[in-house]
Amino acid sequence: MATQQAWFVIYPASEGISNAVPANQKIVEVPVTSAQYQAWVSNGSYQGWQVYMGPFATQQAAQSAKPGAISVGTWVGATMAGILGGLGAAAGNPQAIQQATSVGTSTAVTNPLDYLKDIGNFFDKLSDPHTWLRLAEFAVGGMLLYLGLKTAFQGTGVGNVAKTGTSEAKKNTKRVAKLAIDFIPRP
């Protein structure tokens, strides 16, 4: 039975990493059951070599991979891909590495101004009726939770302490409101 292989783009850890592509990078093939693979997917380093990109299911994928800015979601996906690929390979599932590594491939940002669309999307969501429905559901849920807790603790020591605290809060709120009204200049 052939051992499942994975490809990594690695560089000497002594070089450190900056925003530039490492000068001495190379592509290596390792079995998914090897110590190298396990180290590279867990902490990214093995015997002086640091992972730059990978794991990849094929050598061609490793050669054609382009580094770029990645989102937190892609980073987490790549991490999970390495873990799942290692677990699947350890369990004898030969497709696990291919399925898992396809999750972790990164895509570069093509236009840095794309993020400005998110501002427009925010205002677009304000006119979406489903947004307001979700907010109403959240508010009703909060009120139900409050009423349930108030009823459950009514007449107990916890309820009495809470009642004392709310009465003090009401007094202070009235004081602040009175000061604010007195502080506002009148025409």
Q: What pLDDT, in 10s, does the model give residues 115-146?
A: 777 787 888 888 888 888 999 999 999 999 98
Say which range, 30-44, 70-84, 108-122, 154-168, has the weakest mean pLDDT: 70-84
Do 93 and 134 lie in one domain? The reply is: no
Do 12 and 73 lie in one domain? The reply is: yes
Q: Which tops the pLDDT comparison, 176 or 185?
A: 176
CA angle 61, 66, 72 (to 5 degrees): 105
Question: Which of 51, 75, 110 finishes a domain?
Answer: 110
Question: Which of 110, 144, 171 finishes a domain?
Answer: 110
What is d(CA 82, CA 100) in angstroms, rounded to the nearest whole number? 7
Residue type, 115: Y
Do 96 and 125 lie in one domain? The reply is: no
Do 162 and 79 lie in one domain? The reply is: no
- Three-state SS letters, the chain: CCCCEEEEEEEEHHHCCCCCCCCCCEEEEEECCCHHHHHHHHCCEECCEEEEEEEECCHHHHHHCCCCCCCHHHHHHHHHHHHHHHHHHHCCCCCHHHHHHHHCCCCCCCCHHHHHHHHHHHHHHHCCHHHHHHHHHHHHHHHHHHHHHHHHCCCCHHHHHHHHHHHHHHHHHHHHHHHHHHHCCCC
Report the domain count for the chain.
2
Question: Which of 110, 135, 166 finishes a domain?
Answer: 110
Do 97 and 23 lie in one domain? The reply is: yes
Average pLDDT over residues 70-96: 53
Residue 143's pLDDT is 94
Do 104 and 138 lie in one domain? The reply is: no
Domain containing 53 equals 5-110
Q: Are 10 and 52 in contact (CB under 8 A)?
A: yes
Do 96 and 11 lie in one domain? The reply is: yes
Average pLDDT over the chain reads: 75
Average pLDDT over residues 95-120: 58
Do 94 and 123 lie in one domain? The reply is: no
Do 123 and 37 lie in one domain? The reply is: no
Q: How large a percentage of the chain has pLDDT more than 70? A: 69
Do 81 and 58 lie in one domain? The reply is: yes
82-86, 145-149, 153-157: range with highest mean pLDDT: 145-149
Do 99 and 10 lie in one domain? The reply is: yes
Going by pLDDT thresholds of 50, 70 and 90, the confidence category of residue 86 is low
What is d(CA 46, CA 32) in angstroms, rounded to the nearest whole number? 14
Residue 68's pLDDT is 59
Do 102 and 132 lie in one domain? The reply is: no
Average pLDDT over residues 150-169: 82
